[in-house]
């Protein structure tokens, strides 16, 4: 089969013939139709992000495709089913604290690296082997729409944070990092879930204006100055109600003070979920006042990826019309042009822009 291989960090991907994946019990082989290229893929492949992705490896985080072959323990999946290949693979021998690997992308901890030795190759290939539970049916689609369905790869991460927040219809949410790829996906998903209003602080006035154009009065953009006291006051002035929850998606390049400002806007008894990359590349820690957290009964939680059941309800929101994938502008590249696709994704990394490899 044809595949793009990362032979070593800092080198372009090599498109070549790779061995066919072999199926086993508890696994599914999927014919990949489209695979998303994350906006920061160039930073992963260069080694700048220092991801645990030992080359040589077929990279790629998630895919849309059709079932080619199922293992003997599959009871519902059948050949030809359209599925989302969920890259979030969990170990099966510890339900309480499962190890996690992002297949074709990264691993977490020693256990994750051990899991990665088997669930290693990602979606930049004609076929992929995934655990049975990671081949999740999405219903029949037009093959031409497979690239657009890759958007759920990003939306699911946002949705995972919103589920961790226990966001309820009618609540007011602040999205820290709303002008980025994951942050803007959070805005779209929160509105689909029935948020009363989404507060979108940021410094990129052009992107804030674009969010306002898309979602009108359901969002409240706030241009940040960098002065924490002034910015908190401006956010509270913009919100029509107390801010029930904050979801942070600021990237590794962001200063911790921006995340701190966002968190400090939440109401007493409010909830905060952290999913961004603040501090990953060095810089100040996120310091928050102990008395404020304690006396205001603030809940602060970290979240990585999403609960496996989230895929089913996310697909349900798309099928039910609450969440419209047409917000995403999709640019597709053939697998032979994968390196140009990676460069394109890095430059076109704004809200609702999606780069895809087609097979």
- Chain segment 243-270, per-residue pLDDT in tens: 999 999 998 888 999 999 999 999 999 9
Residue 177 shares a structural domain with residue 295: yes
Q: What is the CATH number of the domain that holds 100?
A: 3.90.180.10
Residue 307 covered by a domain = no
89 Rama class: left (phi>0) / alpha (psi -120 to 50) / beta: beta
Say if residue 161 is in the same domain as residue 145.
Answer: no
230 and 346 in a single domain? The answer is no
Q: For residue range 151-179, list pLDDT tens digits in order.
A: 999 999 999 999 999 999 999 999 999 99
Using CA atoms, how far apart are residues 214 and 29, in angstroms rounded to an integer?
39
pLDDT confidence tier of residue 280, bands split at 50, 70 and 90: confident
211 pLDDT band, cuts 50/70/90, is very high
Distances (CA, A) of 160 to 116, 269, 274, 282: 22, 21, 11, 26
Domain annotation covers residue 278: yes
Q: Give the pLDDT score at 238.
A: 96
132 located within any domain? yes
Four-point Cα dihedral 135, 139, 140, 146, nearest 10: -60
* Residue 57 located in a structural domain: yes
What integer pLDDT is reported at residue 207 of this predicted model?
Answer: 94
Answer whether residue 315 is part of any domain.
no
CATH code: domain of residue 184? 3.40.50.720
Same domain, residue pair 31 and 141: yes
Which tokens go with 237?
């002035």
pLDDT of residue 281 exceeding 90, the answer is no
- The average confidence (pLDDT) of the chain is 95
In a domain, 281, yes or no: yes
Q: In percent, how much of the chain has pLDDT > 70?
A: 100
pLDDT tens figures, 36-91:
999 999 999 999 888 889 999 999 999 999 999 999 989 999 999 999 999 999 99
CA distances from 119 to 28, 37, 52 (A): 12, 19, 13
Number of structural domains, the chain?
2
Domain boundaries, position 139? 2-151+328-358
Residue where a domain stops, chosen among 287, 302, 317: 302
- Burial category of 105 from C-beta neighbours within 10 Å (exposed 0-12, middle 13-18, buried 19 and up): buried
Do 85 and 11 fall into the same domain? Answer: yes
**42 plus 119 within the same structural domain:** yes
pLDDT at residue 350 tops 90: no
- The answer to whether position 343 is within a domain reads yes
Query: Would 309 be classed as within a structural domain?
Result: no
pLDDT in tens, 225-249: 999 999 999 999 999 999 999 999 9
Residues 290 and 167 in one domain: yes
Same domain, 86 and 174: no
Q: For position 359, what pLDDT does the model report?
A: 87
Phi, psi angle pair for 203, to nearest 5°: -105, -15
- In the predicted structure, residue 308 carries a pLDDT above the cut 90: no
Same domain, 163 and 287: yes
Question: In this structure, are 96 and 219 located in the same domain?
Answer: no
Using the predicted structure, report yes or no on whether residue 182 has a pLDDT greater than 80: yes
Are 173 and 247 within 8 A, CB to CB? yes
pLDDT at position 124, please?
Answer: 98
Question: If 0-12 CB within 10 Å is exposed, 13-18 middle and 19+ buried, where does residue 78 land?
Answer: exposed
């Amino acid at each position: 089969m044809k595949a793009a291989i990362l032979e070593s960090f800092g080198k372009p991907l090599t498109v070549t013939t790779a061995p066919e994946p072999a199926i086993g019990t508890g696994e599914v082989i999927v014919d990949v139709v489209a695979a998303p290229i994350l906006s920061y893929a160039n930073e992963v492949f260069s080694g700048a992000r220092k991801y645990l992705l030992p080359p040589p490896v077929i990279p790629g985080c998630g895919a849309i495709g059709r079932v080619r072959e199922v293992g003997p323990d599959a009871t519902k999946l059948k050949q030809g089913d359209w599925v989302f290949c969920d890259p979030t693979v969990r170990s099966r021998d510890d339900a309480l604290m499962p190890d996690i690997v992002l297949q074709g992308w990264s691993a977490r901890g020693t256990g994750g690296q051990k899991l990665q030795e088997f669930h290693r190759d990602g979606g930049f290939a004609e076929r992929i082997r995934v655990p049975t539970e990671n081949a999740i049916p999405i219903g029949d689609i037009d093959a031409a729409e497979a690239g657009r369905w890759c958007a759920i790869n990003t939306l699911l991460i946002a949705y995972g944070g919103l589920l961790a927040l226990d966001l309820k219809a009618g609540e007011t949410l602040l999205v820290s990092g709303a002008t980025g790829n994951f942050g803007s996906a959070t805005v779209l998903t929160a509105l689909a879930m029935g948020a009363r209003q989404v507060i979108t602080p940021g410094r990129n006035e052009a992107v804030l204006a674009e969010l306002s154009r898309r979602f009108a009065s359901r969002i409240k953009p706030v241009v940040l100055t960098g002065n924490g006291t002034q910015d908190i006051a401006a956010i509270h002035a913009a919100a029509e109600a107390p801010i029930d929850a904050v979801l942070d998606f600021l990237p590794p390049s962001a200063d911790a003070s921006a995340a701190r400002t966002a968190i400090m806007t939440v109401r007493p008894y409010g909830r905060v979920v952290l999913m961004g990359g603040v501090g990953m590349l060095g810089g100040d820690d996120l310091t928050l006042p102990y008395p404020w957290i304690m006396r205001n009964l603030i809940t602060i939680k970290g979240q990585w990826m999403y609960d496996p059941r989230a895929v089913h309800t996310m697909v349900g929101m798309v099928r039910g019309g609450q969440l419209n994938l047409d917000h995403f502008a999709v640019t597709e590249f053939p697998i032979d042009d994968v390196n140009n696709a990676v460069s394109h994704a890095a430059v076109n990394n704004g809200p609702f822009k999606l780069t895809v490899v087609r097979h």
